[in-house]
């Protein structure tokens, strides 16, 4: 019968397609597969990408990621050893290293995420709580460049030397977690502290501290300016005195030298005839002392007027100028 063969043919074709699609499965580059037979895992994981065969219907392909997977932590409020409340956000990258174990212990990614939450958050809290804040913030003990501000501005606490630093602390968390997760078929590749922040109430206090710190720095600059300008003014005063006194010394020196030289010259000349000098100088004084207000009372016995007397009058009388 034509129709019957048609129906049977169709049925066989459908069956073949269903069987084939159940026997064939593809594995992407990003995937790995665990084959289970009635729920029981069979053999090792299939990690080679491509087209694969399995027993149809009885076996099931369970697909897992082969790539690095994300785990992003929530902001944890943790007190540090020095009682600073901070919010710490970490992230981790992990992969399913042993799909069989992963499948047996966790079954799916969702459960893995929540297990990682427990483990990593816990370890992060432990490690942060047993270290000071500065250890989480700084990585090395490098000295800060002191720009415009001096070292006493820096908070003593923040200048403390660190023992571990951020990198070693994250490694500490990583090591602790790496210890635990292989039980779940998970390999933890890296953990990083993504963010560290003060919690809000602490932050306000930190801002206050920053403000007062800046105020101190500003005051310092101002007084430094006053000090420096006073210094410059002092230098100016000193130099003025130096300049003036040096000028005075030099003038006195050269004037004195000239006076001395002049005295020598006069002495040399006048010593040739002191009597004549006295006479001439006296004559000169007459010129300067007698003026129109002077009274001259002269005797006829004076030299100049002796001829007013008799011819034989005594010579040698002196003129006696009198100044009123």
Partner 1 sequence: MANRNAGFDPEEFTRAARELGARLRESRKLLVIVGLVIVGLAAVWGSYYQIEPDEVGLVTRFGRFVRTTGPGPHGKFPFAIERVQKVPVQRQLKQEFGFRTLRAEVQSSFHKDERTQAESVMLTGDLNVATVEWIVQYKVSDPYKYLFRMRDVEETFRLMSEASMRTVVGDHSVTELLTVGREAIAAKAKELLSNMCTLYDNGISVQQLILQDVDPPEPVRPSFNAVNQAIQERERAINEAWAEYNQEIPRARGLAEQKIQAAEGYAVDRVNRAKGDAQRFVALEEQYRKSPEVTRTRIYLETLAAVLPTAGKKLIFDEKAKGILPMFPLGPGQEVKP
What residues from 77 to 106 belong to the interface with partner 1 (CB under 8 A)?
Answer: 91, 93
Q: Name the residue nearer to partner 1 (CB basis): 13 or 58.
A: 13
**DSSP-derived secondary structure letter, 142:** P
**Binding residues for partner 1 restricted to 107-126, rule: CB under 8 A:** none
**Binding residues for partner 1 restricted to 126-145, rule: CB under 8 A:** 133-134, 137-140, 142, 144-145
List, in order, residues 6 or more apart from 300 with CB less than 8 Å away: 306, 308, 309, 313
Q: Report the first-to-last Cα separation within the chain, whole angstroms.
A: 183
Q: Name the residue nearer to partner 1 (CB basis): 175 or 259.
A: 259
d(CA 18, CA 175): 48
| CA neighbor of 186 nearest in space, from 309, 29, 68 | 68
| 317 and 302 Cβ atoms separated by less than 8 Å | yes
For partner 1, which residue of 55, 154, 183, 205 counts as binding (CB under 8 A)? 154
d(CA 263, CA 253): 15
**Binding residues for partner 1 restricted to 265-324, rule: CB under 8 A:** 265-266, 268-270, 272-273, 276-277, 279-280, 283, 286-287, 290-301, 303-305, 308-309, 319, 324
Binding segment (CB under 8 A) for partner 1, from list 39-47, 60-68, 96-104, 123-131:
60-68
- Told to check if 229 binds partner 1 by CB under 8 A, we report yes
| Residue 178: both structure tokens together | 């790496």
| CA neighbor of 197 nearest in space, from 84, 117, 70 | 84
| 305 and 298 Cβ atoms separated by less than 8 Å | yes
d(CA 53, CA 20): 9
| 73 and 53 Cβ atoms separated by less than 8 Å | no
For partner 1, which residue of 108, 118, 175, 246 counts as binding (CB under 8 A)? 246
Q: Name the residue nearer to partner 1 (CB basis): 107 or 236.
A: 236
User: CB of 177: closest distance to partner 1 in angstroms?
Assistant: 16
- Told to check if 67 binds partner 1 by CB under 8 A, we report yes
- Told to check if 53 binds partner 1 by CB under 8 A, we report no
For partner 1, which residue of 19, 37, 44, 48 counts as binding (CB under 8 A)? 48
What is the pattern of x (binds partner 1, CB under 8 A) and - over residues 164-193? --xx---------------------xx-xx
| Residue 84: both structure tokens together | 């600073």
**Binding residues for partner 1 restricted to 2-21, rule: CB under 8 A:** 2-3, 6-7, 10
List, in order, residues 6 or more apart from 199 with CB less than 8 Å away: 77, 85, 86, 87
| Residue 307: both structure tokens together | 């001829």
User: CB of 153: closest distance to partner 1 in angstroms?
Assistant: 9
For partner 1, which residue of 74, 104, 130, 158 counts as binding (CB under 8 A)? 158
- Told to check if 72 binds partner 1 by CB under 8 A, we report yes
Task: Name the one residue in this structure whose structure tokens are 């009198």.
Answer: 322
Q: Name the residue nearer to partner 1 (CB basis): 57 or 279.
A: 279
d(CA 228, CA 52): 84
d(CA 100, CA 34): 7
User: CB of 132: closest distance to partner 1 in angstroms?
Assistant: 10
Q: How many residues bind partner 1 (CB under 8 A)?
A: 128
């Amino acid at each position: 019968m034509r129709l019957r063969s048609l129906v049977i043919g169709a049925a066989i074709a459908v069956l073949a397609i269903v069987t084939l699609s159940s026997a064939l499965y593809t594995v992407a580059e990003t995937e790995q597969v665990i084959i289970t037979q009635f729920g029981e895992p069979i053999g090792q994981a299939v990690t080679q990408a491509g087209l694969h065969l399995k027993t149809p219907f009885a076996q099931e392909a369970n697909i897992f990621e082969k790539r690095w997977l994300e785990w992003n932590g929530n902001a944890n409020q943790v007190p540090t050893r020095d009682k600073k409340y901070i919010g710490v956000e970490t992230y981790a990258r992990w992969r399913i290293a042993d799909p069989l174990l992963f499948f047996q212990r966790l079954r799916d990614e969702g459960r893995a995420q929540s297990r990682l939450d427990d483990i990593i958050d816990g370890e992060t809290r432990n490690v942060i709580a047993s270290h000071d804040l500065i250890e989480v913030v700084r990585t090395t003990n490098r000295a800060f460049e002191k720009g415009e501000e001096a070292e006493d501005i820096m908070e003593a606490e923040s200048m403390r030397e660190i023992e571990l630093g951020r990198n070693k602390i994250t490694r500490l968390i990583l090591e602790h977690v790496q210890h635990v997760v292989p039980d779940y078929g998970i390999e933890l590749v890296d953990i990083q502290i993504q963010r560290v922040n003060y919690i809000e109430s602490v932050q306000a206090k930190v801002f206050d501290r920053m403000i007062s710190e800046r105020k101190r720095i500003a005051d310092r600059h101002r007084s430094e300016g006053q000090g420096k300008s006073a210094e410059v003014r002092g230098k100016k005063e000193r130099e003025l005195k130096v300049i003036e006194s040096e000028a005075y010394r030099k003038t006195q020196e050269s004037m004195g030298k000239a006076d001395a030289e002049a005295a020598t010259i006069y002495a040399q000349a006048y010593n040739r005839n002191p009597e004549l000098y006295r006479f001439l100088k006296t004559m000169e004084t007459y010129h300067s002392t007698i003026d129109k207000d002077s009274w001259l009372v002269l005797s006829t016995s004076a030299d100049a007027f002796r001829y007013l007397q008799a011819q034989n009058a005594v010579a040698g009388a002196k003129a006696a100028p009198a100044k009123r």
